[in-house]
């Protein structure tokens, strides 16, 4: 498993196991605590089966991001989706009131075992490619949410 390698400060007295928090039904608390460490336009959510019963080989990782952005005035929704698909794999999309919501596969799908891992993953690994993409293509984004889910190793 690969975790963030840069040193990072823990913002919590107990940087406990994400798996333990999820198993104890504390997903809303986890999401709230992590959101406190992110910029207002960044988000974090947990998507695991209810009830969550992990196997011995289960791990938590962050392969997905949901983007809400304005459709550029000089491009169609389809052109914008095709542009995204050149860098990020678009899995789902919807359009409403001049905005696109895209569920994308992140270029990195880092593992996360603690709250600090999630914050470091977002800041160091996941957010920079999206920010670079938005700036390069002059896209007006509203919200970028990173999603934690489970997998089998």
Contact yes or no for 41/142 (Cβ under 8 A)? yes
Q: Is the pLDDT of residue 12 over 50?
A: no
Q: Which of 112, 101, 59 is nearest to 77 (CA)?
A: 101
Tokens of 145: 């949410």
Domain interval for residue 100? 18-152
- Report if residue 4 sits inside a domain: no
State how many domains the chain has.
Answer: 1
pTM: 0.88
DSSP annotation of 130 reads: H
Mean pLDDT across 3-31: 72
Taking only the tens place, the pLDDT of each residue in 110-135 is 999 999 999 999 999 999 999 999 99
Please give the Cα distance from 137 to 129 (Å, whole number): 12
Residues above pLDDT 90, as percent of the chain: 78
In a domain, 95, yes or no: yes
In a domain, 7, yes or no: no
- In the 8-state DSSP scheme, what is residue 123? I
Question: What are the backbone angles phi and psi of residue 99, rounded to the nearest 5°?
Answer: -120, 145
- What are 147's two structure tokens? 């999603």
Place of tokens 């190793």: 153
What confidence score (pLDDT) does residue 8 get? 43
Residue 26 phi, psi (nearest 5): -105, 35
**Residue 3: pLDDT band by 50, 70, 90 thresholds?**
very low
| Span 30-77, pLDDT tens digits | 999 999 999 999 999 999 998 889 988 999 999 999 999 999 999 999
Task: Report if residue 3 sits inside a domain.
Answer: no
Other beta carbons within 10 angstroms of residue 100's beta carbon come to 22
pLDDT band at 100 (very low <50, low <70, confident <90, very high): very high
Report angle CA 72, 74, 75 to the nearest 5 degrees. 70
pLDDT at 13 over 50: no
Task: Decide if 2 is inside a domain.
Answer: no
The whole-angstrom separation of Cα 76 and Cα 48 is 34
């Amino acid at each position: 498993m690969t975790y963030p390698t840069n040193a990072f400060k823990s913002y919590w007295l107990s940087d406990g196991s994400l798996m333990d928090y999820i198993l104890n039904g504390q997903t809303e608390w986890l999401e709230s605590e992590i959101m406190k460490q992110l910029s207002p336009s960044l988000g974090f959510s947990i998507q695991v089966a209810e009830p969550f019963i992990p196997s011995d080989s289960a791990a938590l990782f962050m392969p997905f991001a949901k983007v809400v952005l304005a459709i550029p005035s000089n491009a169609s929704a389809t052109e914008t989706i095709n542009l995204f698909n050149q860098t990020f794999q678009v899995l789902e999309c919807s359009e409403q009131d001049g905005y696109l919501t895209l569920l994308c596969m992140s270029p990195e799908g880092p593992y996360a075992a603690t709250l600090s891992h999630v914050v470091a993953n977002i800041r160091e690994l996941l957010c920079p490619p999206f920010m670079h993409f938005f700036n390069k293509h002059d896209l007006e984004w509203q919200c970028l949410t990173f999603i934690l889910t489970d997998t089998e190793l």
